[in-house]
Amino acid sequence: SEEKFRNIFNSAQDAIFIINKEDKFIDANEAASRIFGYTKEELVKMEISDLQAPEVRGVPGTIVKSELEKYESKTFEALGIDKFGKIFPVEISQSLFMLKGEEVVLNIVRDISERKKMENKIKDSEMHYRSLFENSPIALWEEDYSLVKKEIDELKKSGIKDIRQYLENNLDFVKKCVPLVKIIDFNQSVLKLYNAKDKKEYLNNLSNVLSESSFNMFKEAMICIAEGKTYLFGEDKNYTIDGKELDVIVTWSVVPGHEKNYDRVYVSDLDITYKKRAEEALRESEEKYRRIVDTANEGIWAMDENYLTTFVNPKMSEMIGYAPEEMIGKRVEYFMFKEDLGDHSDKMKSRTAGISQKYERRFKKKNGQELLTIVSATPLMDHEGNFKGSFGMFTDITERKKSEEIIRSLNDNLKLLNKILRHDISNDLTVVSIALEMIETKDKDMINKAFNAIQRSVDLIEKIRCLESTMSTKYRLKPISTKHILGFVKKSYQDIHINITGECKIMADEALNSVFDNIINNAIIHGKTDRIDIEINSENNICQIKIIDYGVGIPDKIKNKIFEEEFSYGNKGGSGLGLYIVKKTIERYGGTIKVEDTNPHGATFIINLETCVC
């Protein structure tokens, strides 16, 4: 009835207009007044265009009417404008009907502002998450496992209860299910990770990127589906399209709301290839250094900040006679002699202060015997400089010390014997010299030969003394000025022009005097030079001393022999010890000596020694 229609018309929440063919309102309900802000009386005096936003105005009613006649009804979205100028989105449903014999249009207008806001939020959210998906640095896939789910359901229907065991025993079935996974989408990081130029290339090479490990990972995903689980995490190994091996961490997660069919699953691959290679390199390095530590010929001993033993290698255990487990947790003092504890305490204070040291240390072996060692000790500090322990390398010098003591005793005896011989022979030569002077003879030549022989013997005794000094003062070197020593030697040769240039300091001893004197004396006596130039230069921590004479020189055939023991040449050849002692002395200083020709004639001795840092 008309009353019923009127009640529905006025109680509707949407605006309802009745419009004639001239696009004028015949009637409007209460919601129309509420939504557009006009009274009913105002509305019936208005046209459709008055409620349209400016950008959608001008649609004649005849067109609307013709459209409705064609489709009977029409629903579309538009923009409305209220009395106060506010523009808002509306959804309009139009239909034709007869009212009192006149064909009119029924317009139902719904304010869809809230719906549009929600749609825009959803769209923004989708764009946001799409952006996150596409621009994620982690390779991401969106996949559909629904067909895989159906295959697993069929297995269960066939009576298979232990899906895990079945899949582990039927890997071919697992591989058959891989193509059932539909790839819905994947991001750019997938292309980058698998070295594909575009999505088409990646999809065409899917079979090439999978390894046997990949099938095991897929098998675990199938087990998750069978057990109703929605999350899987594990390591996998794949290949890039060009065949390079990839280590990845795979995360497989079902999207909430899709747990029933597994038709939306997110899969991610995190590239850990570099990490795995670094771990392998570290493991190999640790194994390498573990082998070095375990097979080292030196003992290795580590302790913590409380000086408790934390590690000893097999060699250290063997040296001291205790098993490693007997040493772990004990303080180093437990293995020392009481009289050495004071010095050990001082060394530990240095270690706590961050100071490395090298020194000798004595230990008490398990059998009570002495173990003599050289220790190279290094503190272990954290990044803030706090002492966290100490690490030491120990070299067993017990036997060496015994040998050194024996050698020292023998040397002392030899020195004494040599001293006695030199003393007695010198005394005898003095007696012979005096006796020769008292002999009256006309054979002066014979007398001179005798005196020369005596002088050679005296020189030989002196050279033996120098050689003895060379052999016994190896570890007692001190800083010495080369120019000062050469200046002192020069005073002994007033008749020869000797020019000295340059200066540097070296570690040497008094025997250096004999080195320079020997070379200069040979240049004068054997080389027959009348002048000598001595050039001293220092470069790159090396002191080079050139002693240049301009005499007859040294024949090529003997150049490589002059430093040999007991080598002599010519009528005036001596004992053959002079240059031999020179070479041994220079080597004792850690240096080298060689001889070259002087242009146009003469000989040049070149000595290279480390400069003294003092």
Q: Give the full edge-to-edge strand order of the sheet including 299-304.
A: 309-312, 299-304, 387-396, 370-381, 357-364
What one-letter code names the amino acid at 260?
A: K
pLDDT at 65: 43
> Domain boundaries in the chain?
2-115, 136-276, 296-396, 402-464, 473-610
Residue with tokens 């039927």, as numbered in its chain? 170
pLDDT at 121: 85
106 in Cβ contact with 97 (< 8 Å) = yes
Residue 138's nearest CA partner among 256, 277, 272 is: 272
User: 428-452, pLDDT tens digit by residue?
Assistant: 667 666 766 667 666 777 777 676 6
User: 7-45, pLDDT tens digit by residue?
Assistant: 888 888 899 998 887 778 888 999 999 999 999 999 988
User: 176-208, pLDDT tens digit by residue?
Assistant: 999 999 999 999 999 999 999 999 999 999 888
Residues whose CB falls within 8 Å of the CB of residue 162, separated by 6 or more in sequence, listed in order: none
Residues whose CB falls within 8 Å of the CB of residue 330, separated by 6 or more in sequence, listed in order: 308, 309
Please tell me whether the peptide bond between 324 and the residue prior to it is cis, using omega within 30 degrees of 0: no
User: 593-610, pLDDT tens digit by residue?
Assistant: 999 999 999 999 999 999
Question: Per the structure block, which two tokens stand in for 264?
Answer: 């939306």
Write phi, then psi, for 527 (nearest 5 degrees): -85, -15
Domain 2-115 identical in fold to domain 473-610: no
* CATH of segment(s) 296-396: 3.30.450.20
What one-letter code names the amino acid at 37?
A: G
Give the whole-angstrom CA distance, residue 60 versus residue 47.
Answer: 10
pLDDT at 70: 42
293 in Cβ contact with 313 (< 8 Å) = yes
Residue 327's nearest CA partner among 306, 312, 348 is: 312
Flag whether the pTM goes above 0.85.
Answer: no
How close are the terminal C-alpha atoms of the chain, in Å?
123
Give the whole-angstrom CA distance, residue 605 versus residue 554.
Answer: 11
* CATH of segment(s) 473-610: 3.30.565.10
Question: Per the structure block, which two tokens stand in for 85?
Answer: 């100028």
Helix (H) or strand (E) holding 593: strand 592-597
pLDDT at 105: 85
Domain 136-276 in CATH 3.30.450.20? The answer is: yes
Question: Per the structure block, which two tokens stand in for 150?
Answer: 């159906």
Residues of the chain with pLDDT under 70: 1-2, 58-73, 289, 407, 410-429, 431-433, 435-438, 440-442, 449, 451-475, 566, 569-577, 614
Give the whole-angstrom CA distance, residue 75 versus residue 106.
Answer: 12
User: 157-170, pLDDT tens digit by residue?
Assistant: 999 999 999 999 99
DSSP of 324-342: HHHHTT-BGGGGS-GGGHH
**Over 221-261, what HEC string results?**
HHHHHHCCCCEEEEEEEEECCCCCEEEEEEEEEECCCCCCC
Helix (H) or strand (E) holding 268: strand 265-271
Superfamily of domain 2-115: PAS domain (3.30.450.20)
- Tell me the CA distances in angstroms from 231 to 161, 333, 553, one per residue in order: 21, 57, 93
User: 40-97, pLDDT tens digit by residue?
Assistant: 999 988 888 888 888 777 554 333 444 444 445 578 888 889 999 999 999 988 888 8
